[in-house]
């Protein structure tokens, strides 16, 4: 029989890479806690209609990229392609609009899009995101940006930059869309086939197109600038946001071409980029979505948020990772024989009580094997237990760095390990 493989666009995450995932997740949790955002976990699949309405029928996500299936009851379900629509669905469904209209939430988990897999882009990918629902103030947009910025800084990403735009509101966005359509209709011959398709459906998406001929069209001096179409309220909102960002010391540039792929965005749209992946690469983005709740059948509820793809960030962190991070703290327990295994398992309960991480290898092998294995795992301290030690009621502790071996009682062993292995570096069992 042939060997089974993971589905295209998915992968196993394990080994040293896991530490980077944990680092990102822990950073997200701690920053969320500092800013007072609560975690929300929504289902992996939702009704297809949620995304058709909440992401937008005209988007590439809904048109081409969703994992949609019928369950045995004939319901159309979709693996979530993004996190904001489910969060807003939960907000409305749980009645927050009535009893607690202002919430600050974050989420973290896998998302699914049927796309061509490439470095940092998978069909099952992972995102974390922050959503502040119920707040109109541009200061809340600034807080969301500050959270993103704080997380990237905390992770050590360098050469960060912020691009920002406003997509307008129900009053001024339609005028811009009309101007865009007129502009593109005159030049539709120069657009790629995808964009010809987008022209009537979702002309804003053309601004995202990377095809060279479309880029040339976008660079035309006659290209309508979104900023020129903003109404007074939208201008004011943006001006206040930019003023706050300046006060926060977060540098930004206005990019009138920046749009978000999802239909429900209004006013603020932003992207954080880093210069580290060669070209300036987006590591996260977001914006305001004051139209989303109504698209889902609720009352009008303002909201602002951002999401970041974790695969990209892992790639960036892998680049700067040093060898030392593979070292494990704790102690390697090397039993020689069945009896040793049992005694060491009993010892491991004592180690647990003292918060000392350990790894026991039950391979029934020679001392030479165990020492090699401990070395490969980067563990400094090895406890050896053979027949002789059991008879004398002692443990042999070997320091893999100095090569020194000492014979210790259980009490002496615990004391020594507590001295040598500080709780702070117990990265291993967390
Ligand atoms: Zn407006
Ligand atoms: Zn195009």
Q: Which of 66, 138, 135, 63 is nearest to 104 (CA)?
A: 135
State the Cα–Cα distance between residues 41 and 44, nearest whole angstrom: 9
Which pLDDT score, from 0 to 100, does residue 426 have?
A: 44
Per-residue pLDDT at 414 exceeds 50: yes
Q: Determine the distance separating the centroid of ligand 1 and the alpha carbon of 231, expressed in angstroms.
A: 4
Model pLDDT for residues 12-45, shown as the tens digit of each residue: 999 889 999 999 999 999 999 999 999 999 999 9
Q: 422 versus 319: which is more confidently predicted?
A: 319
* pTM of the shown model: 0.89
Report the percentage of the chain scoring pLDDT > 70: 95
Mean pLDDT for the chain overall? 91
Ligand 2 centre to CA of 193 (Å) is 7
Q: How far is the CA of 217 from the centre of ligand 1 (A)?
A: 26
The predicted pLDDT at position 322 comes to: 58
Helices 17-35 and 138-154: angle between axes, nearest 10 degrees: 150
Looking at the CA of 196, which ligand is closest? 2
Produce one character per residue of 130-166: b if its CB has 16 or more CB atoms within 10 Å, e if not: bbbbbbeebebbbbbbbbbbbbbebbebeebebbbbb
Q: How do residues 257-274 score in pLDDT, each as one tens digit?
A: 888 767 788 999 999 999
Q: Which candidate, 347, 282, 276, places its Cα nearest to that of 316?
A: 276
Summarize pLDDT for 369-396 with one digit per residue, the tens.
999 999 999 899 999 999 999 999 999 9
- For the domain made up of 17-172+230-320, the CATH class stated in words is alpha beta
- pLDDT for 326 equals 54
Residues with Cβ within 5 Å of ion ligand 1? 168-169, 171-172, 231, 234
Residue 53, pLDDT > 70, answer yes
CA of 258 to the centre of ligand 1 (A): 16
Half-sphere exposure of 31 (CA within 13 A, CB side): 24
Say which ligand is closest to the CA of 188: 2
Q: Quote the pLDDT of residue 71.
A: 97
- 163 alpha carbon – ligand 2 mean position (Å): 21
Instruction: Concatenate the DSSP letters of all residues of 35-90 into one string.
Output: HTPEE----SEEEHHHHHHHT-TTSHIIIII--EEE-TT--EEEE-S-SHHHHHHH
Q: How far is CA 388 from the centre of its chain?
A: 52
Q: How far is the CA of 175 from the centre of ligand 1 (A)?
A: 10
> Which ligand has the shortest distance to the CA of 203?
2
User: According to the model, what pLDDT value does residue 329 have?
Assistant: 80
Q: Any idea which ligand is nearest the CA of 199?
A: 2
Which pLDDT does position 276 carry in this prediction? Answer: 62
What pLDDT does residue 421 have? 83
Residues 166-202: pLDDT tens digits? 999 999 999 999 999 999 998 988 999 988 888 888 8
Domain edges within the chain: 17-172+230-320, 327-425
User: What pLDDT score does 352 carry?
Assistant: 94
56's CB contacts (< 8 A; 6+ apart) are 62, 202, 262, 263, 264, 295
**Of 42 and 208, more confident:** 42
Structure confidence by residue, pLDDT tens digits, 306-357: 999 999 999 989 887 654 445 678 999 999 999 999 999 999 999 999 999 9
CATH fold for the domain made of 327-425:
Rossmann fold (3.40.50)
Please give the average per-residue pLDDT across 391-405, as a whole number.
95
Ligand 1 centroid from CA 178, angstroms: 15
State the pLDDT at residue 360: 93
- Asked if domains 17-172+230-320 and 327-425 share a fold, the reply is no
Q: What is the mean pLDDT of residues 64-86?
A: 97
Ligand nearest to the CA of 216: 2
Q: Which residues contact 96 (CB under 8 A, 6 or more apart)?
A: 103, 133, 134
Q: How many helices and strands in the chain, by DSSP H and E?
A: 17, 16
What is the 206 CA–ligand 2 centroid distance (Å)? 6
pLDDT confidence bin for 280, thresholds 50/70/90: low
Helical H segments across 94-137, by residue range: 96-99
Q: What is the longest distance spanned by two Cα atoms in the chain?
A: 92
Q: Per DSSP, what are the bridge partners of residue 381?
A: 331, 399
Task: Give backbone dihedrals phi and psi of 194, rounded to 5 degrees, phi first.
Answer: -55, -45
pLDDT tens for 95-141 read 999 999 999 999 999 999 999 888 778 999 999 999 999 999 999 99
Q: Is 70 exceeded by the pLDDT of residue 427?
A: no
The label of the residue with tokens 């988990």 reads 109
CA of 199 to the centre of ligand 2 (A): 10
Taking the CA of 268 as reference, the closest ligand is: 1
234-244: average pLDDT? 97
φ/ψ of residue 202, rounded to 5: -160, 70
């Amino acid at each position: 029989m042939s060997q089974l493989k993971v589905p295209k666009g998915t992968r196993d995450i394990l080994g040293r890479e896991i530490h980077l995932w944990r680092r990102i997740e822990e950073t997200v949790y701690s920053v969320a806690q500092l800013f007072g955002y609560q975690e929300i976990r929504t289902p992996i699949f939702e009704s297809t209609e949620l995304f058709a309405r909440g992401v937008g029928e005209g988007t590439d996500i809904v048109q081409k990229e969703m994992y949609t299936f019928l369950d045995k009851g004939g319901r159309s379900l979709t693996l979530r392609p993004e996190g904001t629509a489910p969060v807003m669905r939960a907000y409305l469904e749980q009645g927050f609009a009535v009893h607690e209209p202002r919430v600050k939430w974050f989420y973290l988990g896998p998302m699914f899009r049927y796309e061509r897999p490439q470095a940092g882009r998978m069909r099952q990918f992972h995102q974390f995101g922050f959503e502040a629902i119920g707040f109109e103030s541009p200061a809340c947009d600034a807080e969301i940006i500050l959270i993103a910025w704080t997380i990237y800084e905390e992770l050590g990403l360098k050469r960060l930059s912020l691009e920002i735009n406003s997509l307008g509101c129900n009053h001024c966005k339609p005028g811009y869309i009309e101007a865009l359509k007129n502009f593109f209709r005159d030049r539709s011959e120069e657009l790629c086939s995808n964009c010809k398709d987008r022209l009537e459906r979702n002309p804003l998406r053309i601004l995202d197109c990377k095809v060279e001929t479309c880029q040339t069209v976008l660079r035309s001096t006659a290209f309508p600038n979104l900023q020129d179409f903003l109404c007074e309220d939208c201008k004011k909102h943006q001006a206040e946001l930019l003023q706050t960002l300046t006060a926060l010391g977060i540098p930004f540039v206005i990019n009138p071409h920046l749009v978000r792929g999802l239909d429900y965005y209004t006013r603020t749209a932003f992207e954080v980029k880093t210069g580290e992946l060669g070209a300036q690469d987006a590591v996260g983005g977001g914006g305001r979505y004051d139209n989303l709740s109504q698209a889902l059948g609720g009352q009008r509820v303002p909201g602002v948020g951002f999401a970041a793809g974790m695969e990209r960030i892992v790639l960036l962190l892998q680049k700067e990772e040093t060898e030392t991070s593979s070292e494990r703290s704790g102690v390697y327990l090397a039993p020689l024989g069945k009896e040793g295994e049992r005694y060491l398992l009993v010892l491991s309960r004592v180690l647990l009580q003292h918060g000392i991480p350990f790894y026991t290898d039950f391979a029934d092998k020679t001392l030479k094997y165990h020492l090699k294995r401990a070395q490969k795992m980067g563990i400094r301290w090895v406890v050896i237990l053979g027949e002789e030690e059991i008879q004398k009621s002692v443990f042999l502790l070997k320091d893999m760095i100095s090569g020194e071996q000492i014979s210790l009682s259980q009490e002496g062993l615990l004391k020594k390990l507590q001295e040598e292995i500080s709780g702070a570096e117990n990265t291993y069992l967390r």
